[in-house]
Amino acid sequence: MASVGDTGGKAAHDARHEAPGAGTGAGAGKAGAGSAAGAGAGADAAVRRDRAVRAAVEQGLISGAEPIVALLDVAGIRASAAALRAAFDRVTAPGTPVLHAFAVKAAPLVPVLRLLAAEGLGAEVASPGELALARAAGVRAERTVLDAPAKTVAELREALALGVAVNADNPQELARLDALTAAAPTVPPCGLRVNPQLGGGSIGALSTATATSKFGVALRDEGARAWTVRAFLDRPWLTRLHIHSGSQGVPLELMARGVREVYELAEEINAAAGRHQVDTLDIGGGLPVNFASDTQTPTYADYARLLSGTVPGLLDGRYGLVTEFGRSLLAKHGTVLARVEYAKTSGARPIAVTHAGVQVATRTVYDPVSWPLRITTYDPTGAPKSGPAVGQDIAGPACFAGDLLAENRPLPLLAQGDLVAALDTGAYCFATHYSYNSLARPGVHGFTAPARGPVRFATVRTAQSVEEIVAESGGAHPDALLEG
């Protein structure tokens, strides 16, 4: 596998060899072999997680004074990155340039981006903040892709100057790029995002390929396809097509059909151009995640296999590939651990009032049907709790009635001082904090749990202090509204 944006793909190749931990010992290293490997990896992950919870209590990461903490399983993240690379290595022709750009929004944490870069991944960014995070993590410009739907002229100019690949969203953005590229000494790879309008999945807010989606050029709208072909013929520097049509709730078959549509459009453009103008297809991310058990399914290998059946021409070496997976790389490797501050009953319903709620699992709290989370329970020493299952509410600390991580969930009866863990929260949860009630961002710690030896933690993000909350909340301008 060569690497898009790398001369000869050397960095990606080296990264593979710099990562001795990748997949070793864990079935996850072979996750590409299918769901049996996925289940084995899941069992290993559950053992590591229980050890990390115990160690978090013993090492004082969670306590009465620090009643919530987030944990990241480093070996799990490495294994997912390795599984992604292996899956596409297996289906692409030798020498096919491939860049796996992690969707930063899923886990905008600098050490996570650095870890993934060490595993051979780049970064997909969609705001000046995300671009800054990728740069702070040392992700090189030529391994970074900018995809925001509302890029300003200044953001576009910066991306071009840095050498970051840009995917334009719409005709007006292309017009801005016309002006900027005319003035630029060199132009990084630029693409156009298209929407094949194939329909959505089961979660409306996350379905990007609907008839009226806000993303990209809607290919089935009248005249849009011909306009798109012309847009490429008029712009020799436009060399990529971009689609991101998957997400949680979207079937793999629908994702693969979207990729096929984009591949066919690339073939049409190249035939019209009489040359291989479109040289790279950015197929986005969106692999769904299993939130129901520790088994990882579907796997990257499942999707890569489906692509090789649905769009064989995509993988025969004529096109470079960019992927942009987020949730599937991180979700299963994050755990929120929180203390039960109080255990009470209301209307005969047992309620555990914890420190984990809407601030760390925003989507689950506002849309519990689409985003159910698994909850596991531990006693105050961090040992798994047992006992008959009793329907309980797992409540968060925020001051509104709906701040529940789980409603009437059958679990061992929780008592004050016990711990609850919200599983599969490594993407779009604690890393994308919601500051309702001025609740502090919890600390995030990566852990390694070697078969022999103690669990070791590394600080990824320190817990937010109340001083920082005041500073972020206008604390420097207390009299601002009294003046004038």
Ligand X SMILES: *Cc1c(COP(=O)(O)O)cnc(C)c1O
- Is residue 298 a contact point for ligand X (CB under 6 A)? no
Give least dist CB 13 to ligand X, A.
Answer: 24
How many other C-beta atoms can be found within 10 angstroms of the C-beta atom of residue 359?
A: 26
Cα–Cα distance, 165 to 144 (Å, whole number): 6
105 scored as a contact of ligand X (CB under 6 A): yes
Residues written for the chain: 484
Please name which of 267, 324, 252 lies closest in space to residue 84, comparing C-alpha atoms: 324
Q: Taking the complex as a whole, how short is the minimal distance between the CB of residue 106 and ligand X, in angstroms?
A: 5
Chain position carrying tokens 């115990």: 54
Based on DSSP, count helices (H) and strands (E) in the chain, helices before strands. Answer: 13, 18
Structure tokens given for 278: 């479109």
Q: How far is the CB of 124 from ligand X (least distance, A)?
A: 5
Residues numbered 226-245 forming contacts with ligand X, rule: CB under 6 A: 244
Task: Report the residue number, 143 or 327, with the smaller CB distance to ligand X.
Answer: 327
Please indicate whether residue 190 is annotated as part of the active site.
no
Given the residues 154, 348, 399, 476, the one annotated as active site: 399
- Nearest approach, Cβ of 177 to ligand X (angstroms)? 17
DSSP state of 242: E
Q: Which is nearer to ligand X, 324 or 403 (CB)?
A: 324
Q: Say how far apart CA 99 and CA 9 lie, in whole Å.
A: 9
CB 103 to ligand X: min, Å: 3
Residue 284 binding ligand X, by CB under 6 A? yes
Q: Which of 5, 148, 25, 83 is nearest to 300 (CA)?
A: 83
Beta strands 334-346; 419-422: pairing state: antiparallel
How many residues of this chain bind ligand X (CB under 6 A)?
A: 16
Q: Which residue is nearest to ligand X (CB)?
A: 326
Instruction: Give the interface segment with ligand X, choosing from 127-135, 283-291, 386-394, 401-409 (CB under 6 A).
Output: 283-291
Of 247 and 299, CB closest to ligand X: 247
Q: Give the residue carrying structure tokens 């890569």.
A: 304
Beta carbons of 98 and 143 less than 8 angstroms apart: no
285 binds ligand X (CB under 6 A): yes
Distance in angstroms (rounded) separating the CA atoms of residues 142 and 139: 8
Out of 142, 147, 173, 261, name the contact with ligand X by CB under 6 A.
147
124 binds ligand X (CB under 6 A): yes
* Region binding ligand X by CB under 6 A among candidate stretches 54-62, 151-159, 282-290, 456-464: 282-290
In this structure, are residues 98 and 3 in contact, taking their beta carbons and an 8 Å threshold?
yes
DSSP designation for 351: E
Residue pair 381/54 in contact by the 8 Å Cβ criterion? yes
Q: Does 103 bind ligand X (CB under 6 A)?
A: yes
Region near ligand X per CB under 6 A, out of 3-11, 37-45, 103-111, 404-412 = 103-111
Among 86, 106, 414, 429, indicate the residue that binds ligand X (CB under 6 A). Answer: 106
Q: Please, which residue, 247 or 280, has the CB nearer to ligand X? A: 247
- Name the minimum Å distance from CB 160 to ligand X: 19
Neighbours of 474 (CB within 10 A): 10
In DSSP terms, 381 is beta-bridged to none
Q: Which of residues 126 and 137 has its CB atom nearest to ligand X in the complex?
A: 126
Kindly report the number of other CB atoms within 10 A of residue 148's CB atom: 19
Q: Does 286 bind ligand X (CB under 6 A)?
A: yes
**Residues in touch with ligand X (CB under 6 A):** 103, 105-106, 124, 147, 244, 247, 284-287, 324-328
Q: Which residues are catalytic?
A: 399
